């Protein structure tokens, strides 16, 4: 999305929120809106994207990935993720489950980065800080750090993952399940769900192998495109 589209999204979300709370729109002043529109027109968000790649710890291999660079624009996954970015609500996440190689990690990361950009545009308008709005991690990384806490003390990662404005969580269910694993992941999803904080998650697991409570939280907080019959891009090239 362009800077202007991101700004329009941000203004619409702010209006919805204020109407919902029965507050007048603080940004109703046309002059103020015009000021932000002019600024957004000159700003594609590309500098923000570079910053987010680093501050959210997006792996290098994925930093150049965009919607445009996705190899299969005729695919259902591409259509679903584009639609999601165009009309999502601020709290709404995305859960991409399905076979290996269909582009879940690649497109999920793009969606994640765009959500952080949208949020940064919105924060600018409200005058809030725009640093550290996103965190990218795999399930394996998350569990490894939490397990290490037994020896080396608190890492702060649990807290950061639960409260960061936008979270990307790759390969849910890729690690051996245990009571500890299911409880940690449920707690993370539950904490974010309660605070209306969106998550973008991916999984190679068939849904029936995912813990019921975890799946329940994903259903409640995420859009879940049907990914049956999507092609493996690594095989097709």
The listed partner (Mg ion, ligand ADP, none) that binds 90, CB under 5 to 8 Å by sort, is none
Choose the stretch contacting ligand ADP; rule: CB under 6 A; options: 2-10, 106-114, 130-138, 213-221. Answer: 106-114
Q: Is 104 in the site for ligand ADP (CB under 6 A)?
A: yes
What is the enclosing helix (H) or strand (E) of 49?
Answer: helix 46-55
**Which residue matches tokens 């000159």?**
42
Interface of this chain with Mg ion, residues 90 to 109, rule: CB under 5 A? 105
Q: Is 231 in the site for ligand ADP (CB under 6 A)?
A: no
Interface of this chain with ligand ADP, residues 148 to 187, rule: CB under 6 A? none
Size of the site for ligand ADP (CB under 6 A): 17
Residue 66 C-beta: closest distance to ligand ADP, Å: 6
Nearest to 107, CA basis, from 136, 65, 137, 73: 65
* Contact status, residue 95 vs residue 224, Cβ threshold 8 Å: yes
* Contact status, residue 204 vs residue 174, Cβ threshold 8 Å: yes
Residue 114 C-beta: closest distance to ligand ADP, Å: 11
- Could you give phi then psi for residue 236, rounded to 5 degrees? -70, -25
Residue 7's DSSP bridge partners are none
Contacts of 161 (CB under 8 A, 6+ apart): 135, 137, 142, 167, 188
Q: Is 223 in the site for ligand ADP (CB under 6 A)?
A: no
Taking CB under 6 A as the criterion, the residue among 9, 65, 142, 193 binding ligand ADP is 65
> Which residue, 11 or 116, is less far from ligand ADP as judged by CB?
116
- Could you give phi then psi for residue 229, rounded to 5 degrees? 70, 15
Residues that bind Mg ion (CB under 5 A): 105
Residues that bind ligand ADP (CB under 6 A): 65-66, 69-71, 100-107, 110, 202, 233-234
């Amino acid at each position: 999305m362009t800077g202007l589209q991101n700004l329009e999204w941000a203004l619409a979300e702010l209006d919805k929120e204020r109407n919902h709370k029965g507050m007048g729109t603080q940004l109703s002043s046309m002059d103020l809106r015009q000021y932000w529109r002019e600024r957004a027109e000159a700003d594609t968000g590309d500098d923000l994207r570079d910053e987010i790649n680093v501050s959210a710890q997006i792996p290098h291999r994925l930093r150049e990935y965009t919607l445009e660079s996705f190899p299969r624009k005729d695919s259902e996954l591409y259509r679903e993720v584009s639609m999601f970015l165009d009309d999502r609500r601020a709290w709404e996440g995305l859960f991409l489950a399905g076979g290996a190689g269909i582009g879940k990690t690649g497109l999920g990361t793009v969606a994640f980065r765009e959500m952080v950009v949208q949020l940064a545009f919105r924060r600018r308008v409200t005058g809030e800080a725009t640093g550290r709005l996103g965190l990218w991690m795999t399930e394996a990384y998350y569990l490894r750090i939490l397990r290490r806490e037994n020896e080396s003390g608190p890492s702060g990662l649990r807290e950061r993952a639960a409260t960061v404005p936008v979270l990307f969580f790759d390969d849910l269910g890729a690690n051996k399940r245990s009571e500890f694993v299911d409880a940690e992941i449920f707690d993370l999803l539950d904490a974010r769900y309660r605070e209306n904080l969106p998550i973008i998650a991916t999984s190679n697991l068939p849904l029936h192998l995912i813990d019921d409570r975890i799946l329940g939280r994903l259903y409640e907080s995420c859009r879940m495109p049907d990914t049956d019959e999507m092609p493996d891009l690594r095989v097709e090239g």
